[in-house]
Amino acid sequence: MTLLRLVVLFGVAVVMALDNGLARTPPMGWSSWNTFRCDINEALILETAEKMISEGMRDAGYVYVNIDDCWSLHQRNASGYLVEDPAKFPHGIRYLADYLHKRGMKLGLYNAAGAWTCQGYPGSYHYEKQDAELFASYDVDFWKQDWCAVELGQDPRVSYPVLRDAVNATGHPMVLSICEYGLKEVWTWGPTTGNMWRTTNDISDSWDRWTYILEAQAAITGFSGPGGWNDMDMLVVGMGGQPDGHYQAHFSLWALLNSPLIAGNDVRKMTAATREILLNGEVIAVNQDPLGIQGTRIWQSFLKEQEVWARPLTGGMYAAVLLNRDEAKPRDVTLKLADLPPVPGTPAGQVTAAMVRDLWAHADLGTFQGQYTAKVPARSAVMITLRPACTRMCVRAPCECDS
Ligand code: GLA
């Protein structure tokens, strides 16, 4: 998808484009914010990167190491440039970029579109050009631009394109991560402006919070795709506030819905269960599927406690998550094969039988006619892929048709 926007200016059509060729699949990495807040420094970044390598995270696709808020001094220098805090980053930010690049990883850095960042460090407002030049000189690969301390009336539909154009002007490609919490229906203009855009306020390490973010996706799943993604916010997997079953459900849904997978835990102290969740290659493969079609909710129970989300994958396959929100009881959740969402432009309701694979049990479950039902524990999810065994057109032989 080429991301172009035509604007007519004095009768002349001007092409405004993001089209930076980046983030063709959802970016994966780690960010300092969820666990470390402002308590960040060079040692933390280096130790985290090394641990991501030794734990296999880098090779599983988590290549961005993102420094969030609080990395600069509180004042710009006399020429208007941000200055990295020498107490936190004694060798500077460029040193970290060089280090990460040698290790096959990438560096992300943060700022905000207003006068100040959310933690009170200097923001980019009126300094977009200097900041883009500085980030380019640091060899930054990923720029998260927040939305704090904005002027009354400041419009994200104006501010983020200013930043995009400043970045483009440097000739230094950077993933542009828009973080304005879903204001002004960012998903409608995000694709021409950035590579990902937050859709809600911040996540926190609780079931209620991440299911609220999930709920917000239901109406906007059509806007996400290669080069530009609905960002459901950084992961809270392994932060310690929820049982592993909740984290497994959270990770399953972030993967199915094509959210960038940016871990937020202390990867230096991962439990075996956290490792198994973040490093489940079958779930990651769904997230990284090259078709990049976001999962949609295809069924919800009357009381809205059970639901099924699904999406098509390349190769005629499908993936689905069967979610049970019930706090106390396991529940049967049924996916009807006729409800599987097809690749856009192809007929719906074609699959009549499918071979099902459980991505958390890593097990083939056999062929199911018409529907598949799983008993899903309280506040948990089952994630599966489906390979059609028979369709109404009966194109895939041998067919085990139900009619
Ligand atoms: C906002 C963002 C968070 C984080 C903090 C940093 O709240 O949404 O993701 O970057 O700012 O201050």
306 and 192: one domain?
no
Phi then psi for residue 348, to 5 deg, are -85, 165
What number does the ligand 1 atom closest to the CA of 147 have? Answer: 1
182 and 308: one domain?
no
- Token couple for 7: 């604007």
158 and 53: one domain?
yes
Distance in Å, CA 194 to ligand 1 centroid: 17
Angle between helices 244-256 and 207-217 (to 10 degrees): 20
Full pLDDT tens readout for the chain, 403 residues = 333 333 333 434 343 458 799 999 999 999 999 999 999 999 999 999 999 999 999 999 999 999 999 999 999 999 999 999 999 999 999 999 999 999 999 999 999 999 999 999 999 999 999 999 999 999 999 999 999 999 999 999 999 999 999 999 999 999 999 999 999 999 999 999 999 999 999 999 999 999 999 999 999 999 999 999 999 999 999 999 999 999 999 999 999 999 999 999 999 999 999 999 999 999 999 999 999 999 999 999 999 999 999 999 999 999 999 999 999 999 999 999 999 999 998 889 999 999 999 999 999 999 999 999 999 999 999 999 999 998 776 555 555 454 4
**What's the CATH number where 375 sits?**
2.60.40.1180
Q: In which residue are the tokens 């290669």 written? A: 226
Instruction: Tell me, using a 6 A CB cutoff, whether residue 204 lines ligand 1.
Output: no
Residue 3 lies in a domain: no
39 and 153: one domain?
yes
Kindly list the catalytic residues: 146, 202
Task: State the average pLDDT for the chain.
Answer: 94
Residue 308 lies in a domain: yes
Q: Phi-psi category of 80—alpha, beta or left, where left has phi over 0 and alpha has psi -120 to 50?
A: left
Residue 10 lies in a domain: no
| Residue type present at position 380 | S
Instruction: Tell me, using a 6 A CB cutoff, whether residue 149 lines ligand 1.
Output: no
* DSSP characters over 273-333: HHHHHHT-HHHHHHHT-TT-PPPEEEEE-TTSSEEEEEEE-GGG-EEEEEEE--SS--EEE
Q: What does the alpha-carbon distance between residue 369 and residue 20 come to, in Å, rounded to a whole number? A: 44
- Of 287, 317, 332, which residue sits at a domain end? 287
92 and 158: one domain?
yes
318 and 268: one domain?
no
Q: What does the alpha-carbon distance between residue 23 and residue 350 come to, in Å, rounded to a whole number? A: 31
Q: Which domain holds residue 387?
A: 296-391
As to burial, measured by CB atoms within 10 angstroms (0-12 exposed, 13-18 middle, 19+ buried), residue 73 is: middle
39 and 136: one domain?
yes
3-class SS at 161?
helix
Ligand 1, atom 11: closest residue by C-alpha: 118
Buried b / exposed e over 141-168, threshold 16 CB at 10 Å, is bbbbbbbbbbeeeeebeebbbbbbbbbb
Instruction: Tell me, using a 6 A CB cutoff, whether residue 179 lines ligand 1.
Output: yes
**What's the CATH number where 111 sits?**
3.20.20.70
Residue 232 lies in a domain: yes
Residue 396 lies in a domain: no
Distance in Å, CA 232 to ligand 1 centroid: 13
Residue 13 lies in a domain: no
Query: Closest Cα to residue 159, out of 122, 136, 133, 184?
Result: 184
Number of domains in the chain: 2
274 and 302: one domain?
no
Q: What percent of the chain is predicted at pLDDT more than 70?
A: 93
269 and 180: one domain?
yes
pLDDT in tens, 297-333: 999 999 999 999 999 999 999 999 999 999 999 999 9
Residue 300 lies in a domain: yes
Distance in Å, CA 18 to ligand 1 centroid: 24
- Which residues in 131-238 belong to E strands, given as ranges? 142-146, 175-178, 196-198, 229-231
- Of 269, 287, 305, which residue sits at a domain end? 287
Q: Phi-psi category of 238—alpha, beta or left, where left has phi over 0 and alpha has psi -120 to 50?
A: left
Ligand 1, atom 4: closest residue by C-alpha: 33
- Token couple for 387: 């390979």
Query: Closest Cα to residue 7, out of 189, 154, 167?
Result: 189
Residue 399 lies in a domain: no
Instruction: Tell me, using a 6 A CB cutoff, whether residue 119 lines ligand 1.
Output: yes
- Of 231, 258, 287, which residue sits at a domain end? 287
277 and 302: one domain?
no
237 and 363: one domain?
no
244 and 365: one domain?
no
Query: Closest Cα to residue 234, out of 25, 64, 19, 51?
Result: 64
Q: What does the alpha-carbon distance between residue 361 and residue 354 come to, in Å, rounded to a whole number? A: 18
